[in-house]
Amino acid sequence: MSQPWETHTTLRLNGENYSRQELLLCSKDKLKNSKNPEWEKVIFRFIVEWLNNKNNVVVKTSGSTGNPKNILIEKNRMIDSAKATNTFFDLDKSKKALLCLSADYIAGKMMIVRAFVGGFDLHYAETKSDVLLKNNVNFDFTAVVPLQLESVLKSENALPINRIKKIIVGGAALRKDLIQKLEQVETEVWTTYGMTETITHIALQRLNGKHKTDYFQALPNVEFQLDERNCLRINAPLVSLNPIQTNDEVILLNSQQFRFLGRADFIINSGGIKLSPEILEQKMALYIETCFAFSSVKDEVLGERLVLVIESKPYSEAKFNKLNEILKTILNRFEEPKEIIFSDNFPRMTNGKLNRIKLKEEIS
């Protein structure tokens, strides 16, 4: 008996239509050619995996809360996820989309699956931070990580981003000052909530325009609950037979809407005071112009000592003193970092996320 995924084996790639056999031949050539870059080969390895006779694909988790691991995901559930996104964003055969995320991870793989399912024209580009800045083509849709969006917003040149009608951004929180800049662009920008286990996003939040919100809205057939820790539990039968328990602390507005607070496993317990680094970062987002993060180091008295880590060369004395004044104004006395540390480069994962675990190791 044939599987639903077996009806989605043709693809429009860079303006060309490919049958299943043509895709296999093209992929073989791409993978065999030593001159082709690895980022491109990853795309065609996944295409080959999608077209094989297995009902599952192997997907790597990002490793944002622990060691990366491989998990199996059913192709049919990936199709259900793709259909939900394609319907929400009206992606059909008349549309054109850009793949600029690594196909090593679920977000990049799902861009390809959405093209298989929706029949839209999928163009691909190297996964670089300035990929949107260099864009000179009109697209209906793309998915990016914050670093890629930040690059074009910092340039003050809105033209490249306005060439794309709709953008989803995931993987990490976007800074408040950059969210404010989104009001200057015509593009619809949405932030996503999801993970590898939910086959990318199962909720969306509009960041700009007259329809922007301060909460995540569930996609169809998705419902939310809280556990005893006020962490989110996801019921999404189309992508998972069982409820998915997260470590994400949220404010649940109703069964389909929530406000994200932060990850419970990132909570810093300093002298019995529990502090969420993500909430502190939101408070300070408008006052520190470079990337920064709140973390902790071991302390004999407090257990954990709260520190602020800034991706920058050390500040001048005047700038350092001004920052301290701002910290005292914006944060309460328990939230004030006990130390400010400067780092030339933050450790990041391949998908652009800050590696908080490695950062904590580096500063300890």
Each residue of 196-216: pLDDT tens digit?
889 989 999 999 999 999 999
Looking at the structure, do residues 17 and 129 belong to the same domain, yes or no? yes
Residue 322 carries which DSSP code?
H
Instruction: Give the chain's count of helices (H) and strands (E).
Output: 10, 20
Distances (CA, A) of 219 to 93, 203, 256: 22, 5, 8
Look at the chain and report how many structural domains it folds into.
2
Which among 303, 302, 311 is positioned nearest to 343, based on CA atoms?
Answer: 311
Looking at the structure, do residues 203 and 75 belong to the same domain, yes or no? yes
Q: Identify the domain boundary among 238, 263, 288.
A: 263
Looking at the structure, do residues 273 and 224 belong to the same domain, yes or no? no
Domain containing residue 334: CATH number:
3.30.300.30
Going from the first residue of the chain to its last (364 residues), give the mean pLDDT of each consecutive group of 10, the final group possibly shorter: 78 96 96 95 97 92 67 93 95 97 93 97 95 94 92 85 95 82 94 91 95 95 94 94 93 97 90 91 91 94 94 96 96 95 90 85 91
Q: Identify the domain boundary among 237, 263, 289.
A: 263
Q: What is the pLDDT of residue 309?
A: 97
Q: Identify the domain boundary among 231, 263, 295.
A: 263
The predicted-structure confidence for 110-134, as pLDDT tens digits, reads as follows 999 999 999 999 999 999 989 999 9
Looking at the structure, do residues 168 and 244 belong to the same domain, yes or no? yes
Looking at the structure, do residues 111 and 155 belong to the same domain, yes or no? yes
Q: CA Rg, the chain, in Å?
A: 21
Phi, psi of 102 (to 5 degrees): -65, 130
Looking at the structure, do residues 215 and 271 belong to the same domain, yes or no? no
Q: What is the pLDDT of residue 136?
A: 92
User: What value, to the nearest 5°, has the Cα angle with vertex 248 and ends 302 and 306?
Assistant: 20
Q: What is the pLDDT of residue 67?
A: 62
For residue 303, the cross-strand partners are 299
| Percent with pLDDT over 90 in the chain | 76
User: What value, to the nearest 5°, has the Cα angle with vertex 180 and ends 174 and 185?
Assistant: 100
Looking at the structure, do residues 223 and 296 belong to the same domain, yes or no? no
Looking at the structure, do residues 351 and 220 belong to the same domain, yes or no? no
Domain containing residue 17: CATH number:
3.40.50.12780
User: What residue type is 87 in one-letter code?
Assistant: T
Looking at the structure, do residues 259 and 292 belong to the same domain, yes or no? no
185-214 residues labelled b (16+ CB within 10 A) or e (exposed): bebbbbbbbbbbbbbbbbbbbbbbeeeeee
Which among 42, 47, 158 is positioned nearest to 101, based on CA atoms?
Answer: 42
Looking at the structure, do residues 289 and 234 belong to the same domain, yes or no? no
Residues in the chain: 364
- Domain around 325: 267-363
Which among 218, 266, 219 is positioned nearest to 88, based on CA atoms?
Answer: 219
Q: Which residues, other chains included, contact 303 with Cβ-Cβ below 8 Å and sequence gap of 6+? A: 269, 270, 271
Query: Which pTM does this prediction carry?
Result: 0.84
Looking at the structure, do residues 101 and 168 belong to the same domain, yes or no? yes
Looking at the structure, do residues 117 and 9 belong to the same domain, yes or no? yes
